[in-house]
Amino acid sequence: MNLLGKALEGLFRLSQLLAALMGLFILLVILAQVAGRYLGFVVPSALEMAGFATAGLIFLGLAPTLRAGGHIQVRLLLGKLPPKARRPLQTFALGLGFLAAFYASVQAWLKVAESFHYGDLAPGLLPLPLWLPQSFLALGLSLFTLALLEAWLKAVQGVEG
């Protein structure tokens, strides 16, 4: 594996770790909320924080899931095609996915910058700056875009996986 491959592997592992930490955070917030009901205290904005962490978990998990082959793909259609037709169609689909993800990433980072610029806060009891949870979404989309680019380049080169 070359240096670029190792760097990508490290980035995608970091994304996987951050997604796992989001899952752990969700668990802890829910446990605190349940304990609070029995002990008579309220966890401010617990549902909101769990929702933000859920979005972070999903988007940070996109790139590692793509690399592991866990995303739903059109394998039923591709499997029925001859290899000569399969490769261009798969390459086209990955390229289209890359372009869509790239656009979404740019828009997500623009939203982060806008929220930071205007000092947008979450509407709940906890005045959380919105750029924080939005950053996890934008980072996850950016890493997914990078994973799609990697998959597209492999498809163009005819490399499996």
- What DSSP assignment string belongs to the chain? --HHHHHHHHHHHHHHHHHHHHHHHHHHHHHHHHHHHHHT---TTHHHHHHHHHHHHHHHTHHHHHHTT-S---HHHHHHS-HHHHHHHHHHHHHHHHHHHHHHHHHHHHHHHHHHHHT-B-SSSS--BTHHHHHHHHHHHHHHHHHHHHHHHHHHHT---
pTM: 0.89
pLDDT band at 90 (very low <50, low <70, confident <90, very high): confident
pLDDT digits (tens, 9 = 90+) for 97-119: 999 999 999 999 999 999 999 99
pLDDT band at 86 (very low <50, low <70, confident <90, very high): confident
In this prediction, what percent of the chain has a pLDDT beyond 70?
95
Mean of per-residue pLDDT scores for the chain: 91
pLDDT digits (tens, 9 = 90+) for 20-63: 999 999 999 999 999 999 999 988 888 999 999 999 999 999 99
